[in-house]
Structure 1
Amino acid sequence: MDLSYAVERLIRSLNLTSFPCGPGNWRNEHLEEYDVQIDDHTDGHQESVSALRGYCEGLKMPWYTDSEWSSEACSLKELSVRSPHVLTDPHMIYKHFKTLRVISKKVTAIDEGILKFTNLRELVLGVNSIAAVDGNNLPRSLEILELCGNSISDLSLLCCDTPPDLLHLGLSHNIVSNVTCLQPDQWSHLLSLDLSYNQITSLSETTSVLCKLPELRTLVLMGNPISLVAVYRAYIISAIPHLTYLDEVQILSDDRTLCSNFSLSVEDDDQTAVTLSITLLTLRGIPCHSDEQNIQDGVRIRKVDYTYHVEYVFLPDELDDRMIQLPDIQYKTDEVTWSESISLKYTKEHTSNLLLRCRDHMHRGINFCIMESQVVSLPPASNEPETKRLPPDSEKKTKASQGASAKRTPTPGKKEKDKGTDKSPKDKKEKEVKQKGKNAPDCTVDWVKQPAEKRRLAQVKMVLDDLLTGHGQTTVEQHMEVLIPKAITLIQTNDEQLSNEREENCSEEETSTHVVMLSVKADLKRHPLIQKLH
């Protein structure tokens, strides 16, 4: 959609020739202005001028129209009621406008039709789909041009024939990568320049161009990849001494003094190595597992060891914010055992010379996963088939029958007197106890560890946009709370019987949630001088 077409639609929405505006037969200019109420009617249903104006100004009136798109819209509609004959010439309507704010109207181009607005001072075209701006199609009277939130990458067409009195140029949230076309002969009156959140990666090239703009006082570059460079703010203050505001922060005289002796020799690709340090501090709120299911009849049947760690990854472009499927984990902490407050003691520095990639990673954020590892250990006897034990009464009957058969069939070669050599009942009982001990788990033997099972308890996203503001902030520390279901704290095992018991015993309390808090700190390496600036 062309800009002129979008503006014409907005003008038509004012209904300048329909009731209560325009030179219609509903007007009676001879009526006393204060003698007639807004709703009073005279012969022929004519209204006074004051009544017609009330229809236009009332917020609840059906003739009220939104006028936020221009500061002159209300005055133009009032003029159409008070002196409608003035607006019979369409050019008078165009000349009336000094401000136009066409925001989020799917405008794709600034066409030459906008040149009809000869008195236009301010043009705001935010959040549209403009890819290029032709300076020849901009009114010569323009002083403020705001183009934030578009798809502009090349400024060459804009610089061909720039309005001579342009004071502010806003290009934030576009895809501009260089500003070499901003020459001082065409931008001699420019006071304010907003290039925040673009793709500018060369600090020395950018400052070498902007320092030549004689009237430039306000500059916004935060959110660009160059804002991550360690010497960013000090370098710009030193390279452009006539600046008053940088990234919406005033440059004081003390700042100029500190940066006056700052070296302007930025070598090695603008010293673009970005160092981001990630520190994982503590993990609180992990529930403690119950040991009751590992003991039966007072005998431990298994050992379960739990350890915890945190994995994190810088989110790529294609990953959805919902984080349903995660990419391969790149970094992780050491395994630690459970405690009420787990000290992770993890710090890692990430260094890269790819400024644009680093900026995008910080904007999309880091995904942290809280992981649990479970290792089940079984006694060696549990791997052998278990022998069925008879009830105590059955054992007595069996022993009695065995004794009777022994009497009926004496051992050959033995005399009756040899019976006295048999063991006493007490000795037999001790032998049975020893035999039973062979089948019971022995705490002194080594337990057989099963393969470790890992599961993700929770995940949380940390965004590092605060490090992109360029205000000198170097640390972002967050205490992030996440919820994990209590049900996952129950032991997972291949034993179907135990699994069924777990499902049957899962109460409503166990399906509620725990609050887990992860403390993370991100530090962006800056030049020591940056910490002294305001």
Structure 2
Amino acid sequence: MPMACQTLTQALEKLILSLCLESYPCGQGSWRKPSLREHEDLDDAALEDQFILLELLRSPQSPWQEKGSWSPQALALRELAVKTPGILKGNFKHTFFTSLRIVDMGVSVIDEGLLKFSCLEELVLSANHITQLLSENLPKTLLVLELYSNQISSLKSLKTHPPPPHLQHLGLGNNCLGSPEDIQYFTAEHWPQLKSLDLSWCGFTELYHVVEALSALPCLQSLVLVGNPLTLASSYPGIVLDSLPRLLYLDGARVTPEDRHQFRGFSQLKGTVFEEAEVTVCVQKIKGVPKPALSLEEFPVVSYSYSASYEFLDQPQSQENTNVESHILTNIHQNPPHQREGSASILCPGADFLKTSWEHHNKGLNIPVVMNSTQKQEWAEVMEFNFMRTNRFSDLTVLKNFFLRGLWLTVEEEKVVSWPAPPAEIGGTKASADKKGKESTDQNSKDKKKKKETVINLIHEAPVKQTLGSVHVELKNLMEGKHQIQVDCNLGTLHSEESVRTTVTREKEQSKKPIENKKTKPSGDTASAQRNLTPSKGKGRARKENETDPRADDNFNSITEPLTVEFSVQLSKVLCASQLSNQTTMK
């Protein structure tokens, strides 16, 4: 559990105090032999005593063993307190540390007490509550500063107090940064020796302005931008690699000569295409829908059709597929699809967890989404939809939030019941009788009547829609550098009405078996019992049917497949400068 908010100095003093430098087995207490404190020439007994004290610090089984994960110098300082305890005077304890790792300890302020650590080279303050980068309180010797996952919302303090001049790595990932004002502080004057910069999972959106500012850093060799909205732009990472020729690593991956050649010329092109993302959604196949039960009667005529629907951002843009049925979800905090009225209760395993995740991602986010539907198809064992829709989005921040949220995919069944239209009354009853008389004498008229009867006008009832299943599709990987998510969504196993009726009938018949056995319980010897149990011909047929029902059920269960949808979301990327030039010309 995180500690209460405190200054960095308070947290450090508590950690140093936990080393017990003045307590057993460290320090100059009564547990030490006089020769250890007063004489330079140590006898064998004294050397053995010092070895035992050091062993107490180093042994994993010792109660005085200290892991010292917050600093590699912590254990060395304790051993020094055993060997030469008199040296721990004044500010020596603070100057001894060159690396500090204060993670998730509730630190809220980098106060001026840190300046006592005048030899500090590495400072890691991840997962705390720091809101400002107070560079005036950082030691000038600092080489590495890691502030990942804090609450820093501005770099304005750098305007009056420059950071340590020799800083080589700066980690500001997962902070509330991303405004144009933050970009202006990445200059050669502020960071003359900066080699590594981590800005991952921030809110930077303007790709061209960010790259233009970072190109001024003379020593930058490693850059991390993953998780920022700008990484969704179709021209990323080409713009970055071509604009920063000294870069050796981008988002943790080594920059190869092939990458340089592939993206050559990107930096010479400018346009709004830099800030746009192109996303393609595909629904390929649906499998596992049970075959609908067919009526043996001629009327009514019942037809079934199936479609897939998915949520996506509502942003009117040019579309490659116009055969889309959409409706706006006005309230982003509404229930997920599987809880809407009329939805079936059949879900994939883990639906409750998916619901919780859905609510968590949408809390506090205003994400306008619409439902997109494929065209309807009649039932088949494998329904080929080959549906594809491509949209372009300029608001990359909203797109990032949507990817973190994920989407809901549903499969719907539409049932339409049709009845024959009532015959039109022409000429009353007498006219009908005359017509029948003519049909009996005129064969040609009879043939025409048969042809006319084959064309029946049907009246369709209102369609009845049913959600067969819903599943949540995670899209977070698109924010972590992956360009495509292709999954076979499992929406659970469905059962047709016919199979349900068969199962119910079988259960009823099995429930009657004990009663029948009780009535036919034989008396006497075994032979007479067998004669009494010999069924009649009619009962034998019934028993045979009962014996075949379980096999039919087992056969049905063995061939039943789960309802699956082949679904993919692709984030398009421009792979060469000529392709980007063509897009700019088209715009």
Q: TM-score, normalised by structure 1?
A: 0.73
Query: Secondary structure, in 3 states, of the residue corresponding to 2:415?
Result: strand
Q: Cα offset for 1:222?
A: 2.0
The letter of the residue matching 1:516 is L
Q: Which digits, 9 at most, give the CA deviation of each residue in 1:89-146, with x for residues without a partner? A: 3x11111111111111222221111111111111111112222111101111110011
State the distance in 2 between where 1:135 and 1:21 align: 36
Change (3 A) 1:112 1:311: same
Change (3 A) 1:324 1:179: closer
State the distance in 2 between where 1:322 and 1:452 align: 33
* Alignment map for 1:129-144 (pairs within 5 Å): 129-144=129-144
Residue aligning to 1:83: 84
Residue aligning to 1:386: none
Q: Cα offset for 1:165?
A: 0.5
In the alignment, is the contact (CA less than 8 A) between 2:221 and 2:247 conserved in 1?
Answer: yes
State the distance in 2 between where 1:183 and 1:511 align: 67
* Alignment map for 1:453-492 (pairs within 5 Å): 453-470=464-481, 474-484=483-493, 486=495, 489-490=496-497
* Higher CA-based Rg: 1
Residue aligning to 2:274: 271
* Alignment map for 1:406-425 (pairs within 5 Å): none
In the alignment, is the contact (CA less than 8 A) between 1:233 and 1:530 conserved in 2?
Answer: no
Q: Which digits, 9 at most, give the CA deviation of each residue in 1:170-219, with x for residues without a partner? A: 11112211411122112101011111121111122112211111111111
Q: Cα offset for 1:302?
A: 6.0
Task: State the identity as a percent.
Answer: 28
Residue aligning to 2:316: none
Query: Secondary structure, in 3 states, of the residue corresponding to 2:266?
Result: coil
Residue aligning to 2:575: 528
State the distance in 1 between where 2:506 and 2:308 align: 28
Q: Any stretches of 5+ residues in structure 2 without a counterpart? A: 1-5, 37-41, 314-330, 335-354, 363-367, 423-452, 511-552, 580-587
Count of matched residue pairs: 445
Change (3 A) 1:335 1:260: closer
Residue aligning to 1:169: 170
In the alignment, is the contact (CA less than 8 A) between 2:285 and 2:384 conserved in 1?
Answer: yes
RMSD, aligned CA: 3.8
Q: Cα offset for 1:475?
A: 2.7
State the distance in 2 between where 1:134 and 1:79 align: 33
Residue aligning to 1:40: none
Q: Cα offset for 1:308?
A: 2.2
State the distance in 1 between where 2:410 and 2:578 align: 33
Q: Does 1:18 align with 2:23?
A: yes
The letter of the residue matching 2:176 is I
Query: Secondary structure, in 3 states, of the residue corresponding to 2:109?
Result: coil
Q: Cα offset for 1:462?
A: 2.5
The letter of the residue matching 2:155 is L
* Alignment map for 1:289-328 (pairs within 5 Å): 289-291=292-294, 304-314=302-312, 321-323=356-358
* Alignment map for 1:429-448 (pairs within 5 Å): none
Change (3 A) 1:263 1:141: closer
The structure carrying a bigger helix percent of its residues is 2
Q: Cα offset for 1:480?
A: 2.9
Q: TM-score, normalised by structure 2?
A: 0.67
Change (3 A) 1:27 1:342: farther
State the distance in 1 between where 2:62 and 2:460 align: 79
State the distance in 1 between where 2:87 and 2:63 align: 25
Q: Which digits, 9 at most, give the CA deviation of each residue in 1:420-465, with x for residues without a partner? A: xxxxxxxxxxxxxxxxxxxxxx999777654333333332222333
State the distance in 2 between where 1:33 and 1:517 align: 77
Query: Secondary structure, in 3 states, of the residue corresponding to 1:515?
Result: coil
Q: Which digits, 9 at most, give the CA deviation of each residue in 1:287-329, with x for residues without a partner? A: 33455xx56xxx5786654332221114898586444799975
The letter of the residue matching 2:68 is S
Q: Cα offset for 1:22?
A: 2.1
State the distance in 1 between where 2:479 and 2:509 align: 47
Which moved further from structure 2: 128-137 or 505-514? 505-514
Q: Which digits, 9 at most, give the CA deviation of each residue in 1:346-365, with x for residues without a partner? A: 11112221111112222322
Q: Cα offset for 1:54?
A: 2.0
State the distance in 2 between where 1:329 and 1:360 align: 15
Residue aligning to 2:527: none
Change (3 A) 1:328 1:27: same
Query: Secondary structure, in 3 states, of the residue corresponding to 1:360?
Result: helix
Change (3 A) 1:370 1:55: farther
Residue 287 of structure 1: which of 290, 294, 305 is its match? 290
Residue aligning to 1:182: 186
Residue aligning to 1:261: 265
Change (3 A) 1:185 1:505: farther
Change (3 A) 1:213 1:322: closer
Q: Which digits, 9 at most, give the CA deviation of each residue in 1:44-72, with x for residues without a partner? A: xxxx2222222222223322233111111
Change (3 A) 1:490 1:214: same
Query: Secondary structure, in 3 states, of the residue corresponding to 2:410?
Result: strand
Residue aligning to 1:8: 13
State the distance in 2 between where 1:366 and 1:451 align: 29
Change (3 A) 1:128 1:455: farther
Residue aligning to 1:213: 217
State the distance in 2 between where 1:321 and 1:10 align: 38
Residue aligning to 1:67: 68
